[in-house]
Amino acid sequence: AALLYVMYRYYARLPGWRKDDALFCAVPGNLAIMLSMAAEKNANVRRISLVHSVRLLFLVFLVPLFLPVAERDVSLHGFYIEHPEQMVATVLLAIGLGWLLQKVRVPAAMLVGGILATLILKLGFGWHWRFPDMMMLSLLVFLGCAIGSRFNGLVLNDVIPELKAATGGLFITLLISGGFAAALHFFLDIPWTQAMLAYAPGGMEVMIAIAMNQDVDALFVATHQMFRMLMMSMIIPLLMLLIKQRDVSKII
């Protein structure tokens, strides 16, 4: 809430920025959902996409640099699947739950479906299956390529104002998120890596994957990230309505 308020005030004060552009840019994460809402409201989709992409690019590239290096077996043995039948069952259940959640329009349905499938099989059947280390690293490579492809066709000279605004917003975002993560670490004795990944402003899939790779409590990180995503998805339409009503009242 603090991050959303401060970032909205920051972007709304920039010359030439509409209030709906500022609101969509201020949301920590939820890129796909924000772009969908922005397109419906005829907001500046390119500007919103660029601001979010700068934040996401920073998180994906630089957040891992602040984490301890985990030793991994970089060999074919790292692809060995200990219980292949559990992997198949987990993936099939995750796809099925994700498909059902998509039907009811739950944000990030496939990701939520995967988390629910894992929890059901773990709590219900006592399964403790996880992806092999090298398979997880391979998935991170493909995920990074998918994120990088967002910048195809970008002309740097045309987006310098947005890049300057996004850089300032990123600095403010890191201060606020880092402050809350530090409070979680010092006052509640939560490991720093876990707290930082939990309060990272976006990149939910990447933060959860890094948590699994770093052997910290991935469920803790996933819960914080999902709560933020779901709350933002529900709050933004209400804030859009509130902003519209205030603008109408000013005109009257």
Of the given ranges (1-15, 47-61, 89-103, 119-133), which has the lowest mean pLDDT? Answer: 119-133
Diameter over CA atoms, the chain: 70
pLDDT one-digit tens code per residue, 136-178: 777 767 766 766 676 677 777 777 888 889 999 999 998 999 9
Determine the average pLDDT of the residues in 47-73: 71
Contact 247, 19 (CB under 8 A): yes
Domain with 66 in it: 2-72+157-251
In a domain, 213, yes or no: yes
Determine the average pLDDT of the residues in 28-36: 75
Rounded-to-integer distance, Cα 209 and Cα 173, Å: 22
Whether the predicted pLDDT of 16 surpasses 80: yes
In a domain, 19, yes or no: yes
In a domain, 221, yes or no: yes
In a domain, 8, yes or no: yes
Q: What is the pLDDT of residue 11?
A: 93
Whether the predicted pLDDT of 70 surpasses 60: no
In a domain, 208, yes or no: yes
- pLDDT band at residue 96 using 50, 70 and 90 as cut-offs: very high
The alpha-carbon radius of gyration of the chain (Å, integer) is: 20
In a domain, 144, yes or no: no
In a domain, 50, yes or no: yes
- pLDDT band at residue 39 using 50, 70 and 90 as cut-offs: confident
Rounded-to-integer distance, Cα 168 and Cα 161, Å: 11
pLDDT one-digit tens code per residue, 97-120: 889 988 887 756 777 788 788 888
Q: What is the pLDDT of residue 8?
A: 92
How many domains does the structure of the chain reveal? Answer: 1
In a domain, 94, yes or no: no
Q: DSSP states of the chain as a string?
A: -HHHHHHHHHHHTSTT--HHHHHHHHSSS-HHHHHHHHHHTT--HHHHHHHHHHHHHHHHHHGGGGSPPPP---SGGGG--S-HHHHHHHHHHHHHHHHHHHHTT-TTHHHHHHHHHHHHHHHHH-------HHHHHHHHHHHHHHHHGGGTT--GGGGHHHHHHHHHHHHHHHHHHHHHHHHHHHHH---HHHHHHHS-SS-HHHHHHHHHHTTS-HHHHHHHHHHHHHHHHHHHHHHHHHHHHHHHHHH-
Count other Cβ atoms within 10 Å, centred on residue 238.
Answer: 9
- Nearest residue to 48 (alpha-carbon basis) of 34, 30, 59, 58: 34
Rounded-to-integer distance, Cα 181 and Cα 195, Å: 5
